[in-house]
Amino acid sequence: IIIQHGFYNLLTSQVTLEVTEGNSTCIKAELSASFFITYDTANGTRTVMVPLPGSAVVGVASSCGGDGRSPWLVALFGDGHALGLGFSSNDSLYSVANLTLQYNLSDVSNFPEANSTDVVTVETTSVGMVARVNTTYRCISASPVIVGGATVTFSNVTMEAFMTGDDLSPNESVCTADQSFTTAPPPPPSTTTAAPTPVPTPPGTPSQGSYSVSNSNGTVCLLARMALQLNISHFSASQNQTIQEVVNLLPNQTTSSGSCDPTSATLVLTQGNATNLSFLFTLNSTSNRYHLTGLSVVAAWSDMTGPFNTSNSSLDYQRGSLGRSYMCISEQTLVVDQNFSLNTFQLQVQPFGITRGQFAQAEECQLDQDNMLIPIVVGAALAGLVLIVLIAYLIGRKRSHAGYQTI
Ligand SMILES: *[C@@H]1O[C@H](CO)[C@@H](O)[C@H](O)[C@H]1NC(C)=O
Ligand SMILES: *[C@@H]1O[C@H](CO)[C@@H](O)[C@H](O)[C@H]1NC(C)=O
Ligand SMILES: *[C@@H]1O[C@H](CO)[C@@H](O)[C@H](O)[C@H]1NC(C)=O
Ligand SMILES: *[C@@H]1O[C@H](CO)[C@@H](O)[C@H](O)[C@H]1NC(C)=O
Ligand SMILES: *[C@@H]1O[C@H](CO)[C@@H](O)[C@H](O)[C@H]1NC(C)=O
Ligand SMILES: *[C@@H]1O[C@H](CO)[C@@H](O)[C@H](O)[C@H]1NC(C)=O
Ligand SMILES: *[C@@H]1O[C@H](CO)[C@@H](O)[C@H](O)[C@H]1NC(C)=O
Ligand SMILES: *[C@@H]1O[C@H](CO)[C@@H](O)[C@H](O)[C@H]1NC(C)=O
Ligand SMILES: *[C@@H]1O[C@H](CO)[C@@H](O)[C@H](O)[C@H]1NC(C)=O
Ligand SMILES: *[C@@H]1O[C@H](CO)[C@@H](O)[C@H](O)[C@H]1NC(C)=O
Ligand SMILES: *[C@@H]1O[C@H](CO)[C@@H](O)[C@H](O)[C@H]1NC(C)=O
Ligand SMILES: *[C@@H]1O[C@H](CO)[C@@H](O)[C@H](O)[C@H]1NC(C)=O
């Protein structure tokens, strides 16, 4: 567990929240959370990462429910921000029925240059936290929840609602993302002398997948075709050391989801419980150009000692014009941080301005343009060579002709 802790974003702290009524506790939650929020500034949109601070407190709006109301946990933090979780249950299961995020755009320390001072509230009913009644819900893996223009990423969660005692139940409902981890530590390597570092064999070129995101009315608003390869530096459970692992995303096991707003679009690719990759594109409505500004990943691979989780929201890749798609057939490496980079191949994306569900004319990346030059140069060189041989032949023929005539 100590090793695992090193994998979590150090900006987020573990928070303990408890809702009590009278002398009894009905909800207890220990968790880390961070928020990825997109907002408007005078010159376009911006995305920030706001962690749930250790100073978060339980708000008075929290309740244990009863009288037809459902239990409600509200965590207040910073200058008027709040995270709310509503619970519901039946005889066998309880779940987080809805999640509400409230953020105060007047808070210039978290939302610099916001053009609004509103307090924004967004809500979702797709949270995906379910546990058996009388058990503690446990999810160490990072799990993202999309709510409006924000993404909430929870990690290290132990939580129980509808509690019958004052302490968390020793019986647990473990989330599916955690079930891919072996709970027992791996056996120590049997070697006595230091063996050379075995490097995992790199996978071949990944295969191309086609992904799309639709609006609430079913209109396709984002299209992507690409082959992806993740390159993560993590601590290997089997080798007891940090390794560089390169893994291809398998398109036939990957699903896409996301959201589209006028100036921002997200694409979330999920491969089973193992890999979750989110792309954030923003459109600058002044210049009518878009680019990839954010990438976040949650990976729970079999050889990891805990889930790997990182993101960067100040990237500048895949620059294209509104009404055009962006294309890069050549391999491109998108560096997210020192431990994670994404290799893309055979890529075409269009995050804005899709008409009739099809890609618009493509703008080719510089690498492709450079690579296109090579065949042209080689072709020209070959043509030149053929010409020289031909001329040499003709001259030679003429000479030998001339030779015959003299005889
Ligand atoms: C809380 O517990 C105290 C002592 O244990 C008891 O006197 C009090 O009545 C209880 N209050 C409620 C609301 O149950
Ligand atoms: C937005 O515009 C203001 C003034 O027009 C400028 O000071 C500021 O740097 C700009 N911000 C960005 C992110 O470009
Ligand atoms: C803030 O900027 C966005 C676009 O940048 C614009 O649509 C919105 O109306 C602006 N809001 C205010 C209150 O100025
Ligand atoms: C929002 O933030 C501003 C400035 O930080 C603060 O004055 C205001 O009280 C906050 N609003 C709420 C609802 O807390
Ligand atoms: C959240 O879900 C609970 C249970 O379904 C419901 O009672 C509550 O009104 C919901 N809250 C919001 C803000 O929709
Ligand atoms: C409880 O709800 C879950 C889904 O929310 C459902 O699958 C299950 O059958 C329900 N159990 C009972 C006893 O109603
Ligand atoms: C949960 O625990 C309470 C009190 O111990 C008990 O009355 C109830 O039947 C239990 N429910 C389930 C589904 O085990
Ligand atoms: C892992 O390596 C460290 C030092 O490199 C060593 O102290 C530790 O015993 C090793 N653990 C296992 C399980 O081999
Ligand atoms: C669907 O919604 C988008 C904006 O959300 C709008 O531009 C488009 O016209 C709508 N299409 C239909 C068929 O209603
Ligand atoms: C993975 O990343 C490491 C460090 O950034 C780099 O040295 C290595 O070449 C990368 N491997 C691939 C296949 O991209
Ligand atoms: C997915 O594709 C790979 C090759 O790209 C293939 O080996 C594998 O059988 C496919 N799996 C399924 C479930 O279709
Ligand atoms: C949007 O584009 C304009 C013009 O190119 C530029 O001045 C401005 O800084 C850009 N805004 C952002 C948020 O990048």
My answer on whether 237 and 171 are in the same domain is: no
DSSP structure class, residue 114: B
Q: Which candidate, 308, 295, 302, 230, places its Cα nearest to that of 8?
A: 308
Q: Pick the residue whose CA is nearest to atom 9 on ligand 8.
A: 188
Quick check: is 236 in a domain? yes
Where residue 132 sits, what CATH number does that domain have? 2.40.160.110
Looking at all shown ligands, the one closest to residue 24's CA atom is 1
Q: Pick the residue whose CA is nearest to atom 2 on ligand 8.
A: 240
Q: Which residues contact 87 (CB under 8 A, 6 or more apart)?
A: 27, 65, 70, 71, 72, 73, 94, 95, 96, 97, 161, 162
- According to DSSP, the residues that pair with 123 across neighbouring strands are 100
My answer on whether 68 and 134 are in the same domain is: yes
Q: What is the pLDDT of residues 251-285, one digit of tens each?
A: 999 988 888 888 889 898 988 878 889 999 999 99
Taking the centre of ligand 7 as the mean of its atom positions, its distance from the CA of residue 166, in whole angstroms, is: 14
pLDDT of residue 137: 97
Q: What is the pLDDT of residues 342-371, one digit of tens each?
A: 999 999 999 999 999 999 999 999 888 887
Out of 160, 179, 198, a domain closes at 179
How far is Cα 70 from Cα 17, in angstroms, rounded to an integer? 17
219 CB under 6 A from ligand 9?
A: yes
- Which phi and psi angles does 141 have, rounded to 5°? -60, 150
Q: Pick the residue whose CA is nearest to atom 8 on ligand 12.
A: 43
DSSP structure class, residue 404: H
Least confident of 18-27, 137-146, 359-368: 137-146
Q: What pTM value is reported for the model? A: 0.54
User: What mean pLDDT, rounded, does the chain reach?
Assistant: 85
Query: Range of 263's domain?
Result: 209-366
Per-range mean pLDDT, top range of 46-50, 185-189, 344-348, 376-380: 344-348
For the chain, the domain total comes to: 2
pLDDT over 90 (residue 170): yes
Q: What is the pLDDT of residues 189-246, one digit of tens each?
A: 333 333 334 456 678 899 999 999 988 788 999 999 999 999 999 988 888 899 999 9
My answer on whether 128 and 66 are in the same domain is: yes
Quick check: is 386 in a domain? no
pLDDT of residue 401: 65
How far is Cα 160 from Cα 137, in angstroms, rounded to an integer? 6
42 CB under 6 A from ligand 2?
A: yes
182 CB under 6 A from ligand 9?
A: no
Q: What's the whole-number mean pLDDT along residues 156-182?
A: 85
Q: At 341, is the pLDDT very low, low, confident or very high (cuts 50, 70, 90)?
A: very high
355 CB under 6 A from ligand 9?
A: no
How far is Cα 374 from Cα 323, in angstroms, rounded to an integer? 29
My answer on whether 12 and 158 are in the same domain is: yes
pLDDT over 80 (residue 187): no
Q: Pick the residue whose CA is nearest to atom 6 on ligand 3.
A: 40
